[in-house]
Structure 1
Amino acid sequence: MANIKQLEMIVKLRQDVENKAAKLMEQAQQAFAQQEQQLQTLQTYRKDYMTKLNNSGESGVSGQLFMQYQQFVMRLGDALGRAEQSMNVARQVYEQRRQGWLQARGEKNAIEMLIEREQQKQLLIQNQREQKQMDEFASRSFIRRAQNS
Structure 2
Amino acid sequence: MDNALEFLLEQAKERENQAVLALNKARTELDGYYQQLQQIEKYRLDYCQQLIDRGKQGLSASQYTHLNRFLTTLDNTLSKQKQAENHFKDQVSNCENHWLECRKQRRSYEWLRDKKQTEKNKLEERREQKQMDEFSTLQYSRMLSNRVN
Provide TM-score, normalisation by structure 1.
0.90
Amino acid at match of 1:91: K
1:118 is paired with a residue of what secondary structure? helix
**Please, which of 102, 105, 111 is the counterpart of residue 103 of structure 2?**
105
Task: Name segments (4+ residues, structure 1) moved above 6 Å.
Answer: none
The alpha-carbon deviation at position 111 of structure 1 amounts to 0.6
Q: Is 2:74 the partner of 1:76?
A: yes
**Please, which of 34, 37, 40 is the counterpart of residue 42 of structure 1?**
40
Amino acid at match of 2:16: E
Amino acid at match of 2:143: R
The alpha-carbon deviation at position 133 of structure 1 amounts to 0.8
State whether residues 35 and 87 of structure 1, in contact with CA within 8 Å, keep that contact through their aligned partners in structure 2.
yes
1:61 is paired with a residue of what secondary structure? coil
Amino acid at match of 1:48: D
Unaligned runs of at least 5 residues, structure 1: none
Q: Is 2:94 the partner of 1:96?
A: yes
State whether residues 39 and 87 of structure 1, in contact with CA within 8 Å, keep that contact through their aligned partners in structure 2.
no
The alpha-carbon deviation at position 132 of structure 1 amounts to 1.2
CA distance in 1, matches of 2:56, 2:90: 43
The alpha-carbon deviation at position 16 of structure 1 amounts to 2.1
Count of residue correspondences: 147
Unaligned runs of at least 5 residues, structure 2: none
How large is the RMSD of aligned CA atoms in angstroms? 1.4
